[in-house]
Amino acid sequence: MMITDKFNGFIWVFIMVYKSDSSKIIIDFEVWVKKQFDLSIYKICIDNERILINLPNQYLSAFQLWITEDNINLEFPSLYIKQSNDGVERFGRLIDSMARIMRISASLF
């Protein structure tokens, strides 16, 4: 998972074993941002990842409940338009392949 700060361009990379770890990573990251910089996260843009967001006719996920409690805006990409992500996808593939190579060479797979 990659978290990108749109204001200054910093990118944090988190290597997950399971996709279900993503909500815990985001919540822990928000706690770290509050402690480190004394700032709050205002908006989270996600790519329709269904592990985080349930469909409208389902119960709210733990991630959705956390977002509403902390007054964080959730932004989804447009449905029919390929949204520009400022090279994050290409950078993500590079980081992903490098992390995979390091894990294989360290016999962690």
Residue spans of the domains in the chain: they are: 2-79
pLDDT of residue 33: 92
pLDDT above 90 (res 18): no
Burial of 67 (0-12, 13-18, 19+ CB in 10 A): buried
Q: What is the pLDDT of residues 31-43, one digit of tens each?
A: 999 999 998 888 8
**Alpha-carbon radius of gyration of the chain:** 15
Distances (CA, A) of 49 to 20, 44, 53, 69: 11, 12, 7, 20
User: What pTM did the predictor assign?
Assistant: 0.71
Burial of 98 (0-12, 13-18, 19+ CB in 10 A): exposed
Tokens describing residue 95: 């980081």
DSSP state of 103: H
